[in-house]
Amino acid sequence: MAKSIARKTKDFNPTNCAVTYCMNIIGGKWKPVIIHLIRNGTNRYSLMQKAITEISKQTLTNQLRELEVDGVLERIVFAEVPPRVEYQITQHGQTLLPIIDAMKAWGRENMPK
């Protein structure tokens, strides 16, 4: 499902740098956190919103859409009453998990006690 989302950084990579490309996909304050939460079973919008109390509804929605458009997440809609939506990490998104793991390890080692 291809959606059109206007983003400033999506295609910004003037030097064709691999790090810049990666940051265009997972960069920002919340995307790594969202990926980490979904990986650990917090895969519904309301659960993510409760887990990240500082994020606005609009920002969470935008970040989820961007991750979906980039092929990192898959949005699954269940035909139930009331409707239920869950997110899961795609096979392509699985390739980002070592980066998230490294961020977690670095944070644990360097976070103030």
Domain assignment present for residue 3? The answer is no
Tokens 């740098």 appear where?
A: 17
Structural domain harbouring 94: 18-110
Q: What is the DSSP letter of 53?
A: T
Model pLDDT for residues 92-102, shown as the tens digit of each residue: 999 999 999 99
Tell me which DSSP letter residue 75 carries: E
Number of structural domains in the chain = 1
Residue type, 72: V
Q: What is the pLDDT of residue 1?
A: 47
Residue 7 lies in a domain: no
Domain membership of residue 9 (yes or no) is: no
Q: What is the CATH number of the domain that holds 28?
A: 1.10.10.10
Mean pLDDT of 37-58: 96
The model's pLDDT over 48-62, given as tens digits with 9 standing for 90+, comes to: 999 999 999 999 999
Q: What is the pTM of this model?
A: 0.86
87 in a structural domain: yes
pLDDT value at position 52? 96
Would you say residue 91 lies in a domain? yes
Residue 25 lies in a domain: yes
Report the DSSP beta bridge partners of residue 74. Answer: 88
DSSP-based three-state secondary structure for 74: strand
95 in a domain, yes or no?
A: yes
Residue 4 scores a pLDDT above 60: no
At 14 the three-state DSSP class reads: coil
User: CA-CA distance, 3 to 58, in Å (whole number)?
Assistant: 17
Least confident range of 12-21, 31-40, 76-85:
12-21
